[in-house]
Structure 1
Amino acid sequence: ATMQCFSFIKTMMFFFNLLIFLCGIALLAVGIWVSVDGTSFLKIFGPLSSTAMQFVNVGYFLIAAGVVLFALGFLGCYGAHTESKCALMTFFLILLIIFIAEVAGAVVALVYTTMAEHYLTLLVVPAIKKDYGSQKDFTQVWNSTMEGLKCCGFTNYTDFEDSPYYKENNETFPPYCCNLSANNTAKEQCTDTKAFNNNVQGCFRQLLYDIKTNAVAVGAVAAGIGGLELAAMIVSLYVYCNIK
């Protein structure tokens, strides 16, 4: 019965990691495609993909994620099939490092939110004052963010003072800072007084609020991922310890 249980768990580990391996190959292929031929990617997936690609270089992100999944899947499959203790232990250690990094990141995010806001303010606000209104991609990213989160700037509307947009539009602010749609800019300008009276929340605070509002869903996803990682580590250790 013990041998049958071991064989079953080893087989399940092999097929589970085979799925991870194939997902890694798929992500790697898409990442390379996006990096080499981003135009075709945008044509197929439409304007939403363009917005996403402006937040982060999706191609490189997919390649990195694909490589990690590829390596994990390969080590898991190889270790389960050949009963290689070295491959299984490497698989376990990589998962353990990822798990610890996720827990550490969550703790830092919870404990040092105020500190993170301070340092991000020192980085982001000067960039807004320098590039918003002059750098097309940077401006589009912020417009998409402010429209999606219903927010204004990183801290508030004052982030846009002395920016190229502010100077070129008669010292007015983006319409999102006055709860206006982008199409209303020509009809009604967002002046200092209107922005002050509307008091639209900064995007960092709004993002934190949205995360707290959806804390149950976010926590459930995080717990699910953590549970899968723990299960994979336990199974790999079980197989490792029962190899003769």
Structure 2
Amino acid sequence: MAELTSAEYCVKYLLFIFNFILWLAGTALLAIALWLRFDKSTSDIFQISGSPSTFLTGVYILIVAAALMMVVGFLGCCGAIRESPLMLGLFFVFLFIIFIGEVAAGIWALSNKDKIVKDVKDFYTETYKNYQTSKQEALKEALRVIQYSLQCCGTTGTIFDGSTDTCPQQQGLQALVTTSCPAAIDDLFNSKLHIIGGVGIGIGVIMIFGMIASMMLLCAIKRTRSVL
């Protein structure tokens, strides 16, 4: 039986390292997603009335994506280190499906951007108003997550907007006037859209290299096993 060349061994171990990192990332992401869904301090967020379906299903998509990352990472690791054509073939198929899904999701998100932005802004505004009257802990946690992530406060961005106990702590004049959350949401989806797109393209390029590497190694393994 023939041996792999030095370049093919390099591809083999690079593929193993890549997929081991992917598996670790998927494990961490799954742990975070499960914590968000089932921890007592955050699970009540999912019971908030009036939440848009795109917002509520986000964590479930995160769970599925993380689990898929773990499966793909496992197949890639084992397929590379054990030189298994079956596992490498499954790795290629899963990675190709994820790549197509990413492209489809990107196209859908771009074509429905205005609706997504409106849903998120409406959810925030409704949650903020409900918290002013009810002071529910679940609403408070939801507001804190949004406001600390976007570094914004309220619907107008001033201390006169209402309760600021969920807002990021600011110093000086920033404590009086800051960015409103509807404006911050608009900024995230508009002025920073190129960053989001760049990250998506980068992930797509990595997937393409992963598929190419898996096919190269798969062909090399079949070649060595066919030569006596």
Whether TM exceeds 0.5 here: the answer is yes
Q: Give, in whole Å, the separation in 1 of the partners of 2:63 and 2:180.
A: 35
Q: Does residue 100 in structure 1 map to residue 100 in structure 2?
A: yes
Provide closer, same or farther for how the CA distance between residues 12 and 140 of structure 1 changes in structure 2, counting only shifts above 3 A. Answer: closer
Aligned length: 194
Partner residue of 1:145? 146
Answering whether residue 17 of structure 2 is matched by residue 15 of structure 1, we say yes
Instruction: Indicate whether 1:136 and 2:137 are aligned.
Output: yes
Give the Cα separation in 2 of the matches to 1:107 and 1:57.
18
User: What corresponds to 1:240 in structure 2?
Assistant: 218
**Aligned counterpart, 1:227:** 205
Note closer, same or farther for the CA distance 1:28–1:215 as it changes in structure 2 (3 Å cut).
closer
**Contact 2:117/2:185 (<8 A) preserved:** no
219 and 91 in structure 1: CA distance in 2 versus 1, 3 angstrom threshold: same
Offset from partner CA, 1:182-215 (integer Å, 9 cap, x none): 79659xxxxxxxxxxxxx9772x64243332223
- Distance of 2:180 and 2:30 partners within structure 1: 38
Q: CA deviation at 1:83?
A: 2.4
Give yes or no for contact 2:117–2:186 (8 Å, CA) kept in 1: no
Higher deviation after alignment, 212-221 or 92-101: 212-221
Tell me what 2:195 maps to: 217
CA contact (8 A) 1:34 1:58 kept: no
CA distance in 1, matches of 2:144, 2:126: 14
Alpha-carbon distance in structure 1 between the residues aligned to 2:105 and 2:70:
23
**Residue 50 (structure 2) pairs with residue 72 (structure 1):** no
Does the 8 A contact of 1:31 with 1:58 survive in 2? no
- Structure 1: gaps (5+ residues): 43-49, 152-175, 187-199
User: Which residue identity lines up with residue 16 of structure 2 in the other structure?
Assistant: F
On the 8 A contact 2:4/2:220 being kept in 1, the answer is: no
Matches within 5 A, 1:162-181: 176-181=154-159
Check the 8 A contact 2:156/2:180 in 1, yes or no.
Answer: no
Q: Which residue of 2 aligns with 1:109?
A: 109
Mark the CA change 1:124 to 1:104 in structure 2 (over 3 Å): closer, same or farther. Answer: same
Bigger radius of gyration among the two: 1
Q: 1:117 to 1:182 in 2, by over 3 A?
A: same
Higher relative contact order structure (alpha carbons within 8 Å, sequence separation ≥ 6): 2
> In the aligned structure 1, how far is the partner of 2:219 from the partner of 2:76?
15
Superposed displacement of residue 236, structure 1: 0.9
Give deviations 1:15-48, integer Å, cap 9, x for gaps: 2222323344455556667777x58xx8xxxxxx
Distance, in Å, in 2 between the alignment partners of 1:243 and 1:23 is: 28
Measured against aligned partners, the alpha-carbon deviations of 1:137-185 in whole angstroms (never above 9, x if no partner) come to: 125424663674647xxxxxxxxxxxxxxxxxxxxxxxx3343227965
- The one-letter amino acid paired with 1:113 is K
In the alignment, the residues of structure 2 paired with residue 26 and residue 145 of structure 1 have an alpha-carbon distance, to the nearest angstrom, of 21
Please give the TM-score of this superposition, normalised by the length of structure 2.
Answer: 0.61
